Amino acid sequence: MATTQERIANSPEERLPPRVVAWLFGVAGSAVALFAWTVLSRLLAHGGGVINRLPGPLAVVRELVQYAGKDLAHDLLASLHVFAIGWIVGAASAALLGLVLGRAKHLGNVFLPIVEAMRPVSSIAWVPLSIVWFGFGLTSKVFLVGLAVFLVVIVYAVDGSRRVPHDLERTATMLGMNGWQRFRSVVLPGTLSEVLIGSRVALMSGWGTVIVAELVAADSGLGAHLIGVEQSYDVPAVMATMICFAVTGFAMNAAFTFAERRLLPWRHDRERQDR
Amino acid sequence: MKRPAHVVMRRILLPLVGVGCVLGFWQATLSWYRLPPIVLPSPWAVATTLAELVRTVAFWRDVGVSLFEFVCGYLIGVVLGVGLGLLMGEWRHFRMAATPVVESLRFVVPFAWIPLTILWFGTSYVGKILLVAYAVFFVMVVSTTRAVAQVEPTLSRVGTMLGMNPWRLAWQVHLRAAAPTLASAARAAAAIGWIAVVAAEYIGASAGLGLMITNAATSLTTSVVIGGMIVIGIVGAGVSAAIGALSRASLDYR
């Protein structure tokens, strides 16, 4: 009789908390993936053809350490500098314009279709034009990142300014608030919380735009380094730079998700489903 | 179907006013500052350039190459992404094992792969197709996993009670229940994949829309650059609309 009971109690699932089980499986999965990568790089090392230049994980890590000791901080700061300016400018202008177009009904009817028409032309398609207009310097990249962030955040800003619940507005009127007070204490907070979420969603598209802009312009930042090592056929260094991009994107996303959870705890659950 | 006057006004007339404002502002800026057409051609010049472009064979070849790369990559990415997502959604242990790998690769955005695809595959189609497939794959994996894992448990229990084996349950019940979510993910993935093609063509390609507009930018024929951007936008919106219509048609049984 006790056998089934015992078996259940002794299975690792039952003895360990679910978090630990998930963690163990995750580590195992990552180890398998790294092992497969290593084996693949060994197999391809002596083969012919195009893919014979696949370095193993160790070579990439070695390259990463070497890069970290030299120019990584400098390049990363250059990229982050572009990103931060563009992101702030884009999010701020989107918040402002979204608020105006969302609240002023007629203006919205006139100009929102234009914003909608611009959205399929992603910021990436603007890269050549931006280089014609602003050259290879900081301005053109800031413009591109700003545009990328703007096109994402404006949707959230318009949405947020319109989605203020009607009974909340009516309650505010009943409590004797005038138009400005209603705007300041009801509409504005609602819009800004949406803008904050939009700014987090825009992080990745802004960061992706930084990558493309730097790859095309190739004058400074991580993207320029990536093109440089590509042109010297240094595959391990290319992969190391890709990891730098990924880690930075991940860190920004994690920091923002954390901040959002602290600032807007009530939005967190819904956002997870939206995403 | 007769539409009330105010709907016509709101849907058609007011946006036209907006377009007029933008075009007027565009024309006014360049006449006021006397900008040379290298910096900003007039709206009319862009329109005539587009009309001329449409009549050339090279233009359609560029559109065709970009679309071909997109469609191949997109199909590969959707099939593999839904497949892996279904496995991850159904099989809890596999999900735990695969999640860290998928999540960390997801942050290596497709654009960062461009130089590597050029090293490995040169300027051929293969690199771009794989890049699009990669971009689409991760969007589909993440949303399929979530959608399948969130299927109403009652449905699974009904399926089990009716004697379905896990494979049939996954294929006929879970995947169908998740279909609406997958359809919207497929549209989002199309937008990302299309942009990945254009970006890849900037950096290394022998044909395609991205190459067309970078070449035009290098030779400072700005009207072709703007015309090309408009085409990229139209194709992107068209692809997205087509996928939307396809998914609506195939989800009709609801």
| Residue A5: other Cβ atoms inside 10 A | 9
Query: Given an 8 Å threshold on Cβ–Cβ distance, is B18 in contact with A216?
Result: no
Helices (H), chain A: 2-10, 12-15, 18-45, 57-69, 72-103, 105-118, 127-134, 138-162, 166-174, 179-182, 188-217, 221-231, 235-263, 268-274
Q: Give the pLDDT of residue A83.
A: 93
**Nearest residue of A to residue B38 by CA position?**
A132
Q: Residues of B49-61 as b/e, b for ≥16 C-beta within 10 angstroms?
A: bbeebeeeeebee
**Nearest residue of A to residue B223 by CA position?**
A129
Residues of chain A contacting residue B237, judged by C-beta atoms under 8 Å apart: 120
Residue type, A192: L
Helices (H), B13-91: 14-32, 43-54, 57-90
B202/B223 Cα distance (integer angstroms): 18
Query: Given an 8 Å threshold on Cβ–Cβ distance, is B116 in contact with A216?
Result: no
Q: How large is the average pLDDT for residues A119-124?
A: 83
Three-class SS state of B36: coil
Residue B163: pLDDT band (50, 70, 90) is confident
Q: How many CB pairs under 8 A join A and B?
A: 155
Residues of chain A contacting residue B39, judged by C-beta atoms under 8 Å apart: 132-133
Over the stretch A146-157, which tens digit does the pLDDT of each residue have?
999 999 999 899
Over the stretch B199-211, which tens digit does the pLDDT of each residue have?
999 888 888 899 9
Q: Give the pLDDT of residue B3.
A: 62
Over the stretch A25-52, which tens digit does the pLDDT of each residue have?
989 999 999 999 988 888 877 665 555 5
Shortest alpha-carbon distance between residue B169 and chain A (Å): 24
Residue A271: pLDDT band (50, 70, 90) is very low
Shortest alpha-carbon distance between residue A184 and chain B (Å): 28
What's phi and psi for B13, nearest 5 deg?
A: -70, -50
Q: Give the pLDDT of residue A97.
A: 92
Residue B122: pLDDT band (50, 70, 90) is confident
Residue B220: pLDDT band (50, 70, 90) is confident
Q: Residues of A185-221 as b/e, b for ≥16 C-beta within 10 angstroms?
A: ebbbebbbbbbbbbbbbbbbbbbbbbbbbbbbbbebb
Question: ipTM of this predicted complex?
Answer: 0.85
Residues of chain A contacting residue B112, judged by C-beta atoms under 8 Å apart: 211, 226, 241-242, 245-246
Share of chain A above pLDDT 70, in %: 88
Q: How large is the average pLDDT for residues A106-130?
A: 85
Cα B69–A133–A99 angle (5° rounding)? 85
Residues of chain B contacting residue A134, judged by C-beta atoms under 8 Å apart: none
**Nearest residue of A to residue B103 by CA position?**
A250
Over the stretch A213-263, which tens digit does the pLDDT of each residue have?
998 887 888 889 998 888 888 888 899 999 999 999 999 989 988 888 888
Q: Give the pLDDT of residue A50.
A: 54
Query: Given an 8 Å threshold on Cβ–Cβ distance, is A226 in contact with B112?
Result: yes
Residues of chain A contacting residue B120, judged by C-beta atoms under 8 Å apart: 50-51, 53
Chosen for mutation from A132, A230, A272 (greatest number of chain B CBs closer than 10 Å) is A132
Does residue B61 surpass a pLDDT of 90? yes
Q: How large is the average pLDDT for residues A170-184?
A: 79
Shortest alpha-carbon distance between residue B239 and chain A (Å): 10
Domain boundaries, chain B: 39-250
What is the average pLDDT score of chain A?
A: 83
Q: Could you tell me which CATH class the domain B39-250 is placed in?
A: mainly alpha
Residue B62: pLDDT band (50, 70, 90) is very high
| Residue A245: other Cβ atoms inside 10 A | 25
- Which is more confidently placed, A210 or A170? A210
What is the average pLDDT score of chain B?
A: 87
Does residue A3 surpass a pLDDT of 60? no
Q: Give the pLDDT of residue B120.
A: 86
Residue A275: pLDDT band (50, 70, 90) is very low
Residue B60: pLDDT band (50, 70, 90) is very high
| The pair of three-digit structure tokens given for residue B85, joined into one six-digit string | 């997502």
Residues of chain B contacting residue A243, judged by C-beta atoms under 8 Å apart: 108
Q: Which of A129, A216, A233 sits opposite B226 (nearest CB)?
A: A129
Residues of chain B contacting residue A226, judged by C-beta atoms under 8 Å apart: 112, 115
A133/B178 Cα distance (integer angstroms): 46
Query: Count of residues for chain B?
Result: 254
Does residue B254 surpass a pLDDT of 70? no
Residue A59: pLDDT band (50, 70, 90) is confident
Q: Give the pLDDT of residue A13.
A: 55
Share of chain B above pLDDT 70, in %: 97
